[in-house]
Amino acid sequence: MLPVPWRHVASWNCTACGVCCKGFDVVLGFNEWLNLTRSYGVGVTQPDISKFYLRRRSDGSCVFLHKYFSTWLCGLQHNKPRACKLWPFKILDAPKFGKPYEACYDYEDRRFFIYVDPLCVGIRWGNPTPKFAYKTISELIEIALGLREKQLYSTAYLSNHSTIATTVQKLKPKLI
C-alpha cells in the first residue's frame, strides 16, 4: 500500500503496539551502527553490501523489541535509530508518492513532501489538527535533518514513564 500525504492525517500518536518493529528492515547510518556495535556487539546488526540494518529475530521482530505487560517497548528508547524515530512518516525532498500539493510542507525556507504509512494503527484520519501540523510534523522534520534527537510529540506517551524508562534501560537484545 502506498504512503498517504500527511494532510489526510488529523493526528498521530504512537500506541506502542510494536507493529512497526515487526517485519520492517531498519537501515542504520554509519554512526548509528558504530554506536550500537560498541554498546551491544555486532550481533545486533545485519550487514548488507552497502548498508547496515538492525538484526531481526526469526519471527521478523527487532531484537530490541520487548513486551511489557500489554505494551511493546524499544530497548533502544534513548538511542533509537533515526529510521525508527520517523516511522510511519517519510520526509522527502520530492513528491515521490504523488499528490504534491497534499504532501508538501514548508519548514523554514525549505519545502518537504511528507507521507505516512497507512498501516500504522496510531493514525487518526481527517483534517490535520494544529498540534499535529505544527508540533509533530516540525519535530519529525527536525529529526530527519539531524537538528533534533529528543522526541516529544513523535513517540508513545506512557503514563508511568519513569518506571518504564528504568525498565527499558535494563533490557538486553534478544537474538532468538
Strand partners, 89: 116
The pLDDT tens digits of the residues spanning 96-154 come to 999 999 999 999 999 999 999 999 999 999 999 999 999 999 999 999 999 998 888 88
Place of cell 494544529: 130
Lowest mean pLDDT of 54-58, 86-90, 155-159, name the range: 155-159
Distance (Å, whole) CA 116 – CA 129: 15
Q: 65-68 and 71-74 as β-strands: parallel, antiparallel, unpaired? A: antiparallel
Domain ranges of the chain: 4-170
